[in-house]
Structure 1
């Protein structure tokens, strides 16, 4: 937009003094004076969103009606309308940022081929890219682990990092935070976020709220700071960067009232796992959640950030924490200037965005309430973050997991008299009636580090204090250090089969752990620093010790991981670990000491000291007074100022990269990391007419809660799978495969990895797990990629049929890109998670939804039918299409499905084959 584009139809612009400067604001109260809105009754999150819409009115993309529609938000119901949202910035991490950079570089190349000016292709909206997802726990338990992991990281990712180094210089309006700085969300919270921007624009100094969208679903962590933002698909983020608004339905807002205070021994992790459980049960998909109440006001900001981080786990678009004095205290603690903080205070108070005592609570669509004094120590698992388990019930819960594993393996219901089930019991799947800890006697033993140790069902083989949810909180991190200190003083040791790791979200964490004198105790238990970034939680846990790995394989053991992250989906953490549990950093240390999840830590001893005396959890758990005193002495603003002073310079490894230069990226056909994607090659400038889908086959028939990890895994690449075979054919040794996540710049790898999760259950192949399907009509079983390519050769379009919550989990654009490249034209599911549905639209894949009460099962679909989808030429938002499923015997099943294209602009995106395709066409025509 040019300066002439901006309008002020409501006369909302006003010049005021903020922090001794004359600034322009777009005053929300003006809408109340005009009778358009009751600002003081709106949720704070809606007020921030309304300011962004009001400030960007141009009469074309954003109109007066958009302002009025949003300003008319009501708890009694919101209109089924989309509004255009232009955030102030975009944030990306490297797993999702690399494909974004590749796409924008490819658009530049396409623009040149089409005779346009490639230099005009730049981020219009400021973008930050934080490189944090590529480091892996190859080395651990030693003082040199971090250095070795970082060197190995650069060795593996040299081509990717050279691309990002090139982008840092080639694109205007893009900043890159180099590796070894910290995780995206914590760097954003501690440094990048301004809460209120001050920017010169069109000859005026304008103050406005910090808002953003991010390519990581846990972008929501920044809501803890009162910054409006959430995760979107990488494709949508690219479009926003290039100046396209983000279209979103006006959201309902669920108010979550917190009262009381956390009890001694209970952490903010326990609180968020309880909140996740409650909100999942309430149902908040596609909605905003906003926290309030006396319990909220008493929470430290780092505890609020923990609550906000897990919004994807409770299913909301975001979990918003309004600005108050706690927000400002945190900004001072993290090194923001007094002038900056004063600006935030004055602006937010002027705009009604500051939560103060004495103000009435906003109106909400619905409300929940939690007395946080009732929260108890908890974990969540073994494969979903919403499945909370109180610590005292952990052993019983794991026994149930063992029963479920038995049932899945044998196809039988658990029965203590069954000889097969007795075998499982004998291997560690103990009866729930057991009331004493069995200590795993009589189990096959292996020799580890001069100790004879049993590895059996329930053994904790990974214990990771990993970044994201918890490492921004000094109370949780210093708490873990104090637990380690007390354990070492009691003479306790971590079981040698446990792979331990400490991966803080920023360098400041290790600064204050060292200042507190706690790092030596963490080191003594094997929790050495392994690097700064997203490691175990994203699947970069690295290999297990060979002897442990062999024992798991030979005995088919159900072993466990305990991590302080937010994701524990099947096949994500480590392919050999079937039971994964989320917990606070303090409990991670405790379970590493216990060596098993088959234990009640509230009653049973963690271990015995060298003199044979039992040591209980309460013996090593720090008190609140001790914890608070340690934090006050160890955490200072100077630490944050020092660490972020040169954050964009990076380490010697980053600065020594030999990155390419120039306007256009020089594509290397031999690269196995970076390839020019096919999306914009042979690109027609005119849109083809929409047509019905005929003669389609189902590539996969899947159940509920199919995650983006199932669709596009981020972890290790199996040698026997198509992606592994491709890399071997290119001369890549297996040890250098790296991960799917790190190879997202190469479509050849990623399309071969689509539906490549080793735990995927495709009903077309019965109970068999992995990336397999049946090619129709010959009935041949083969890898999903091979079948898709065979269908493409035959000219057969494909569909995927799914259950509820299809695409839940990370905001992974390759889950949609890979789907499109396999030739899948439509997905028919019972329901979708928000981001993945949008990504499918962004790639020109048609998201369809079974009508309420209908499913593949209720309709009698087995996935072997031939499918026709009729009425596409007359698509309407939220309309219906007719599906005909014809079985081999000629019987037709006809049913209607809902079109999950939610607006006219999404219809337009679909017609163009995707968002970026529309952008390129518009760019050529409007240049």
Structure 2
């Protein structure tokens, strides 16, 4: 739609002979309007509104609201943000394509043109979440893991290949290429976007939304983008703007430079701790000041990646010379780089290190104060200085191992995710264990009670395994594998360790999963690959692996000992999330660390070690070797980075990025504009969202006679709610698959079956760490069925089936921070399909609250200071909610009355914008979009 252009902002920008239409920010002027001092991120939003102003959804008043932004005010002004593009990964992306395919059929059923269901904004998907580190520690690991990945996921991949052909402006980056966020920042992101609109070539800031919360990694190159639920992403693909409130913006000033020995990972863990303590949920964070100029782009990307761990919507860096240097390094064209610089300078988006934009709040960090750090054992914001890691581990151990007398410390809520796809069978490709003879895992000095287990591997290596043993050491996750300084640092540390004669401890599963093939290229060019291989850090795949729980099984004998002796063992990974239960079902304690520290802990073999003062092992002459003896200097790292990394690597690595390998190209691909659903498929099935949907929405109703499906505590994450990890044989999903002829070895993971709503419903609220207070003494997906005089403990799914059959609506009661964690659309989809009509919580995470509305579920909030406990609610009550019908009048009630067996309170309605109210009135965002496209 052509811009209304109330401000006369439309102009041209000529760059090296090419003319672009732009919308000039300096055209917005007048009393109280100050564009020049706006934060970078709000200037990007301002341009977005200027260019898309249409007089109805986006008005001149919206533009003025940003230009005249009151930095101190609480967010209240709704705007409609139109992202330039959508980026997806396969776990969250497959349901998006399933929904689009289903919408095409629904459009046809309602008498419309199915090809109207088509991405109107460019959409790109990177298949990166399906590879599992089954095979490790061997040169064949990568090839075998890819083969296993294709065996498990053939149906899904065929479906995605159909989507790539059926939909316009939809591209798929095939498996084995890289991690979505690293591919995004290295290749897909433009920084300044160009597109022909009404026959005119426009240039405007690259913006995006993504179906993964770590989409924010692209903030590092000046792209304003963040994670949304798959439901919102589908709407954005279909041309619907993202409804949002103009946010508060936190300015984070950086000064100085990192000291010797401190890495980008240490910096980001420090920033995570600071911002979590400050409180930035729902806010934009923007970095500025002289320290930005000295911060390498890769370090900025590492910081941007961790934005969800701070809780902020974005963590963005403005555009400067470092941005254009990175674009040049990563193979962007000279024309694109020239456009980025010219556009940013023309629009006031070029970073001035001396400027002080107006911010809502400010923090400051002297980079010189950053020290080597870890985060753990179960939250990314729980930073621990490496010098204190041993003692911190010991005091945390009491929460995980009953046989210790370690000082108990207050931990995070135990309701944390299980996110591990299980291997069908253990592929014991870990190669030969180092011939260390009898060695002890986790047997640090001190008075800590021990619980050692004697373990003998298949090759005869024998050792004692104890609490604190590092059983997984994984260089993984785009957070760090996109950063050459820490990746080269890890490889140089490995080289020095090998030259000293050190070996990884035999109980450690070591994996290397870079975010793109470029990492392998510069490892090869620098001659460092053999040293990583020697320590067992062989390439296992280009994908998320351990960070999302795709760690694969532990060494079988180690797993057996851990389970037989209830050992609290440890993973150390260079990822961004370490929630309890996420990394591996056998591993209770998880620590985030830089890639060099991952290697160091693989050598040490235990968290019960002081890396500064205890030896990592002995050299060939029997002398103790300490970490200081093998830690590479900044100068050594920079020398290798400068000599080993060239733009040609990025040109070659991404030359044919959408074509895929022979396995991808040879997949049989269905044809046609609508998908031919296979009735026998257990991976991809047509969901029921549009079954019986009328052309016009029916009036919303109050909720009467509802029962409580679950009563939950604080900090229940989307990983508790959304199906993730292994599908167990005795679970409702396992029973379903068995009934459909699937052998247990072929169950695969919930993530791989996200395109089958029947599996996903059965796995919703089924996380092994979930504690439903309605069914005390249980863990996992259990509840009590309370209807028709019956009171019985059963699975959440089976109780839901009974309630739905009886026509009984359901509610969920929850505590603080409900729905925090990854942007998992199935946490909302599964909730809706289980028959839940409302959630009543003390507070919500931004994306999940929005997704609930997008699925037609009403998010309600207890009155300030109240909770289920303070109100005396047990979950056994019958609930009614009145006042919801006000929405039929075109207004949104501030509160509704909740009654529960004599308890009454006014719950806050967390439908925060008019756009969200429209979604709720239509029964969900997909129904709203479908009806609009049908009318149009």
Alignment of 1:680-691 (within 5 A): 680-691=690-701
Distance 2:628 2:504 in 1: 17
Q: Secondary structure at the match of 2:20?
A: strand
Distance 2:782 2:685 in 1: 26
1:302 is matched with: 298
> Is 1:808–1:836's contact at 8 Å kept on the other side of the alignment?
yes
1:393 is matched with: 388
2:896 is matched with: 881
| Pair 405,439 (structure 1): closer, same or farther in 2 beyond 3 Å | closer
Mapped pair 1:796 → 2:793 = no
Distance 1:389 1:764 in 2: 36
2:78 is matched with: 82
- Superposition deviation, residue 79 in structure 1: 5.0
1:15 is matched with: 12
Partner of residue 99 from structure 1, selected from 89, 95, 105: 95
1:197-233: CA deviations, max 9, x gaps? 2222223221111011111100000000000100011
Q: Secondary structure at the match of 2:689?
A: helix
Distance 2:893 2:523 in 1: 53
2:709 is matched with: 699
Alignment of 1:133-282 (within 5 A): 133-282=129-278
| Pair 604,413 (structure 1): closer, same or farther in 2 beyond 3 Å | closer
| Pair 344,878 (structure 1): closer, same or farther in 2 beyond 3 Å | farther
Distance 1:56 1:341 in 2: 25
Distance 1:410 1:316 in 2: 37
Q: Secondary structure at the match of 1:882?
A: strand
2:377 is matched with: 382
Q: Secondary structure at the match of 2:693?
A: coil
- Superposition deviation, residue 10 in structure 1: 0.8
2:486 is matched with: 476
| Pair 201,414 (structure 1): closer, same or farther in 2 beyond 3 Å | closer
Farther-moved stretch of structure 1 (628-637 vs 289-298): 289-298
2:615 is matched with: 605
1:356 is matched with: 352
Distance 2:448 2:703 in 1: 59
> Is 1:572–1:713's contact at 8 Å kept on the other side of the alignment?
no
1:307-345: CA deviations, max 9, x gaps? 000000000000010001111111111111222111111
- Superposition deviation, residue 745 in structure 1: 0.2
TM-score computed with the length of structure 1 as normaliser: 0.95
Distance 1:441 1:155 in 2: 40
> Is 1:697–1:865's contact at 8 Å kept on the other side of the alignment?
yes
> Is 1:98–1:164's contact at 8 Å kept on the other side of the alignment?
yes
Mapped pair 1:837 → 2:837 = no
Extract unaligned runs of 5+ from structure 1: 416-427, 887-891
> Is 2:442–2:606's contact at 8 Å kept on the other side of the alignment?
no
1:128 is matched with: 124
- Superposition deviation, residue 561 in structure 1: 0.9
Partner of residue 72 from structure 1, selected from 68, 73, 83: 68
Distance 1:396 1:866 in 2: 49
2:557 is matched with: 547
Farther-moved stretch of structure 1 (568-577 vs 649-658): 568-577
| Pair 525,8 (structure 1): closer, same or farther in 2 beyond 3 Å | same
- Superposition deviation, residue 278 in structure 1: 0.8
| Pair 321,877 (structure 1): closer, same or farther in 2 beyond 3 Å | farther
1:757-779: CA deviations, max 9, x gaps? 11111112224321111111533
- Superposition deviation, residue 878 in structure 1: 6.9
1:421 is matched with: none
Alignment of 1:235-634 (within 5 A): 235-358=231-354, 360-406=355-401, 436=446, 443-447=453-457, 449-634=459-644
2:104 is matched with: 108
- Superposition deviation, residue 448 in structure 1: 5.5
Distance 1:412 1:770 in 2: 28
Distance 1:564 1:119 in 2: 43
1:750 is matched with: 760
- Superposition deviation, residue 410 in structure 1: 12
2:837 is matched with: 825
1:771 is matched with: 781
2:422 is matched with: none
- Superposition deviation, residue 291 in structure 1: 0.5
1:422 is matched with: none
TM-score computed with the length of structure 2 as normaliser: 0.94
Distance 2:140 2:840 in 1: 50
Mapped pair 1:916 → 2:926 = yes
- Superposition deviation, residue 429 in structure 1: 13
- Superposition deviation, residue 396 in structure 1: 1.8
Distance 2:334 2:352 in 1: 20
Distance 2:451 2:115 in 1: 69
Distance 1:221 1:437 in 2: 43
> Is 1:437–1:599's contact at 8 Å kept on the other side of the alignment?
no
Distance 2:449 2:900 in 1: 55
> Is 1:878–1:902's contact at 8 Å kept on the other side of the alignment?
no
- Superposition deviation, residue 286 in structure 1: 0.6
| Pair 769,439 (structure 1): closer, same or farther in 2 beyond 3 Å | closer
Distance 1:437 1:469 in 2: 37
Q: Secondary structure at the match of 2:261?
A: coil
Q: Secondary structure at the match of 2:28?
A: helix
Distance 1:611 1:410 in 2: 36
> Is 1:446–1:455's contact at 8 Å kept on the other side of the alignment?
no
Distance 1:701 1:372 in 2: 44
Distance 1:550 1:605 in 2: 28
Q: Secondary structure at the match of 1:39?
A: coil
Distance 1:177 1:120 in 2: 24
> Is 1:180–1:533's contact at 8 Å kept on the other side of the alignment?
yes
Alignment of 1:711-730 (within 5 A): 711-730=721-740
1:785 is matched with: 797
> Is 1:406–1:414's contact at 8 Å kept on the other side of the alignment?
no
- Superposition deviation, residue 430 in structure 1: 9.9
Extract unaligned runs of 5+ from structure 2: 410-439
Q: Secondary structure at the match of 1:22?
A: strand
Distance 1:79 1:152 in 2: 48
2:427 is matched with: none
